[in-house]
Structures are given as structure tokens and as C-alpha cells.
């Protein structure tokens, strides 16, 4: 995935927004791969649960790495401020 910095999902059968949606829902909510398969089918997309599994296994680590760059560091917490005021 790191080879395709502009479009990491280029050449995939499904659109990138579908892949991202399935990966996000799997990681954020306690849904099974079969749950996601059913949700996608309700929306008119036939995606096998093993395909979603492969997406998560292949793409989730890279997505996490990219998202971490945009998250604010948590080291500046209330505990750090409390120590400064002591």
C-alpha cells in the first residue's frame, strides 16, 4: 500500500470509499465480517466476508499509520499540567 501514496486502492475491484467504510466499521464497531457482508448486501453490494477480512488485514495497519500523523499527541494531558503547577 505504501507504493501507492496517491491512491493506495488503485486497481482494486471495489471503490476506495467502500473499502474504507468496511475497514472503518470493522475497527470502530464490534461488527463481524459476516455482519459487514450483510450490511453491504443491504446496500446493493455483494462483498464476501473473506474479502473484507483481507482488506482489514492488508490495509488497516497502513491506515492506522497514516491517521496517527494527524492525531494530536496525548502526552500533554491534565497529568502533565498538574506536575507543572506543583
- For the chain, the domain total comes to 1
Q: Which domain holds residue 21?
A: 16-85
Asked if residue 31 is part of any domain, the answer here is yes
Compute the residue count for the chain.
86
Interatomic CA distance for residues 63 and 53, integer angstroms = 15
Burial of 75 (0-12, 13-18, 19+ CB in 10 A): exposed
Does any domain span residue 1?
no
- Asked, for residue 10, whether it belongs to a domain, the answer is no
The reply to whether 24 falls in a domain is yes
Instruction: Look at residue 32 and tell me if it is in a domain.
Output: yes
User: Is residue 37 a contact partner of residue 47, using CB atoms and an 8 Å limit?
Assistant: yes
Is residue 5 domain-resident?
no
Per-residue pLDDT of the chain (86 residues; tens, 9 = 90+): 445 456 665 666 677 788 888 988 998 898 999 999 999 999 999 999 999 999 899 888 887 777 777 767 666 555 555 555 55
pTM: 0.63
Amino acid at each position: 500500500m505504501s507504493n501507492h501514496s496517491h491512491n493506495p486502492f488503485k486497481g482494486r475491484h471495489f471503490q476506495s470509499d467502500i473499502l474504507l467504510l468496511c475497514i472503518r466499521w470493522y475497527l470502530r464497531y464490534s461488527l463481524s465480517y459476516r455482519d459487514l457482508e450483510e450490511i453491504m448486501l443491504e446496500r446493493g453490494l455483494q462483498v464476501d466476508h473473506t474479502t473484507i477480512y483481507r482488506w482489514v488485514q492488508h490495509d488497516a495497519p497502513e491506515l492506522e499509520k497514516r491517521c496517527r500523523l494527524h492525531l494530536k499527541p496525548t502526552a500533554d494531558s491534565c497529568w502533565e499540567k498538574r506536575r507543572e503547577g506543583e
